[in-house]
Structure 1
């Protein structure tokens, strides 16, 4: 392929530069506007005509690009199961951040089957599997146990845990908050049990018997949500206003809602770009490594056991893929958010006192 051929993008770039040159020329005429003569006016009219032709050409080129996306998009290859194994699998999810290696582990496919969810290289699936794996490993999900979820959205996890015998209280933000933040419009907010009843996982009558629903403002957890054996949230506490509000939520979810020995698993947005610069407040904040290490330290100082927070190494080519707007979804393990590269991270806490 001749890499120097004139592509539509290259033509648009040249057109844009030509427009800039013309605008510069016009600005020079404006400086001496009071001394314009007939010759200058003729030049201006000529330049106006050139601009009109260039704008028309740009519109035509943009239409060409929109009608022929294959001309500017490169095909990609994303592996799918079953994966060829050359050695025995090691520990599953040994790190705290989303990693391609976790998707190649056979345990992830087993949990996908439990959720009746298809395999996909997507960080949201990683978050759900992270929560399920660590809660199952803790031994807290069992018949008669009580579980609490914050910001449930359309998750399948309450149905799975109900199938395993647990009693689940599913909560989401009050409807006005879900509406104002756009979660309702994008299917990330639930207002009724029917929105999280997955009868392909558990019988509907059993689900209704074991799962209840109520609203909960995560910045103001009501006093009656207490004495649970486990709780969780999937990428919620970064939406509470600022970094500190999210940290305080995790502390409250442990100390206010869990019995001693209970386990909390919470995932959030993780800033891979910088351990200094980040989004500290607003509708979405991005936690740096130092922020999550601070949270771990504070929880430990309060007497709780916290799994070490360790960033996963980038060991596979897909680890270096960064999805950018408009997000293509597959693979969607890292994404560009404003000027940062972001992925998912999780903390696992056992209440100690």
Structure 2
């Protein structure tokens, strides 16, 4: 279909050592015109000439679609995890996946307006809107509430919450950690308070009165960060060194809350496999078994886990897999042989 062709983007070359150019430029140009309806740019030409054959080139450019595996559809094996399997809704948030229908809900446009952004079909923006939806449902967006943000980078949530009267402690990795993980080079790291100010959302005086900033290692949360009504992180704990470290962070974040306080975190969810996954010091994809193991453990320790809904969406856009170089729409993506999307997790601290 023409619509599918317009959604498709070129895939990156295979991992490992780079191949020498083997295909003539004409072959790459012909394939791009036939499959994508456009000419390749210089970087795409260089990359795709390294394919071993014209068939490998065609496979790299062919449309990719996602079909949910059976293991994703089965109810949770743990009786301690409330289970749902229905198209998730932003207006009634639980622990859920990013899906296309949520972008069409009126709540999505409304939340985008509150953070000063135009709505777009991108899972990172969905994470902000979903986090805010949960905080609203937990009555944590109100004057006098206290919220703790982990790994905030330059995201708009601290300013938006402060504009609604919330007292915010915003944190990001210490400079030595951000250099090691490459965050500063991608403009996704905050080093001081005013990097988080959004003049369109609130004036500087109110911002400084309600928001403070400090460097925090998410693997070693300081003991004085306690008693918050809510804490959050947006796609951060997959970068903490491994799967175990990421799961430990979620559990440790509950210690920063008052009883009944809510932890709201998003991360990478592996849609392809419940066995193999991507796990490197810099990036991990969490499997269903990792997520359910964490929630089961937290529930057993007296915390309240919100229902888990792993419905991957049933709209045409939910079948689309974004391929490098990434562009819009960006809901599901392929990276290093794995397929992922964003998942949001909600846990309330027990009494």
Do the two structures share a fold, i.e. TM-score over 0.5? yes
Q: Which residue of 1 aligns with 2:148?
A: 148
Identify the residue that residue 170 of structure 2 maps to in structure 1: 170
Aligned partner (choices 24, 32, 53) of residue 58 of structure 1 = 24
The answer as to 2:349 corresponding to 1:351 is yes
- Alignment correspondent of 1:32: none
User: Do the aligned partners of 2:333 and 2:339 also contact (CA within 8 Å) in 1?
Assistant: yes
**Correspondence for 1:114:** 114
Measure the CA separation in 1 of the matches of 2:143 and 2:175. Answer: 31
Equivalent residues of 1:148, 1:231 under 8 A apart: yes
- 1:102-141 maps to which residues of 2 (within 5 A)? 102-141=102-141
More helix, by proportion? 1
Deviations 1:205-243 (A, max 9, x none): 101111011000000011111111110000000111111
Cα contact 1:169–1:213 (8 A) shared by 2 = yes
Sort the Cα spacing of 1:90 and 1:65 in 2 relative to 1 into closer, same or farther, 3 A.
closer
1:267 maps to what in 2? Answer: 266
Aligned to 2:231: 231
> What is the distance in 2 between the residues matched to 1:199 and 1:91?
28
Deviation, structure 1 residue 319: 0.4
Shift of 1:299: 0.8
Q: Residues of 2 paired with 1:145 and 1:327: CA distance?
A: 37
What are the Cα deviations for residues 125-154 of structure 1, in whole angstroms up to 9, with x where unaligned?
111111100001101221111110000011
Structure 2: tracts of 5 or more residues without a match: 1-20, 39-88
The separation in 1 between residues aligned to 2:293 and 2:242, in whole angstroms, is 15
Shift of 1:352: 0.8
Task: Compare 294-303 and 311-320 and name the one that shifted more.
Answer: 311-320
How far apart in 2 are the matches of 1:140 and 1:285?
29
Gaps of 5+ in 1: 1-53, 76-88
Counterpart of 1:188?
Answer: 188
Whether the 8 Å contact between 1:98 and 1:312 is mirrored in structure 2 is no
Alignment of 1:25-40 (within 5 A): none
User: 2:310 matched to which residue of 1?
Assistant: 311
Q: 1:306 to 1:90 in 2, by over 3 A?
A: closer
Distance of 1:247 and 1:198 partners within structure 2: 32
| 2:107 alignment partner, SS class | helix
Tell me the distance in 2 between the aligned counterparts of 1:214 and 1:138. Answer: 25
**8 Å CA contact 2:230, 2:263 repeated in 1:** yes
RMSD (Å), alpha carbons: 2.2
SS of the counterpart of 2:313? coil
Distance 2:150 2:284 in 1: 18
Q: Contact (CA 8 Å) 1:96, 1:312: kept in 2 or not?
A: yes
Superposition deviation, residue 110 in structure 1: 0.9
Tell me how far 1:182 sits from its aligned partner. Answer: 1.3
DSSP 3-state at the match of 1:194: helix
The answer to which of 214-223 and 94-103 deviates more is: 94-103
Contact 2:173 2:215 in 1 (8 A): yes
Deviations 1:179-202 (A, max 9, x none): 221111111111011211001111
Greater radius of gyration (CA)? 1
Q: Are the structure 2 counterparts of residues 144 and 93 from structure 1 closer, same or farther at C-alpha, using a change threshold of 3 Å?
A: closer
Tell me whether 1:335 sits opposite 2:333 in the alignment. yes
> In the TM superposition, what whole-angstrom CA distance separates every residue of 1:299-336 from its partner, at most 9, and x where no partner exists?
111111011222124310100111111112x1000110
CA distance in 2, matches of 1:90, 1:69: 37
Offset from partner CA, 1:239-293 (integer Å, 9 cap, x none) = 1111111111011100x20011111100000000001111234210110111111
RCO comparison, higher one (Cα < 8 Å, 6+): 2
The runs of 4+ residues in structure 1 deviating greater than 3 Å are: 68-72, 89-95
User: Which residue does 1:210 correspond to in 2?
Assistant: 210
Structure 2 distance, partners of 1:240, 1:261, is 26
TM-score (norm 2): 0.76
TM-score, normalization: structure 1?
Answer: 0.75
Contact residue 65 and residue 72 of structure 1 kept, 8 A: no
What's the CA shift for 1:71? Answer: 6.2
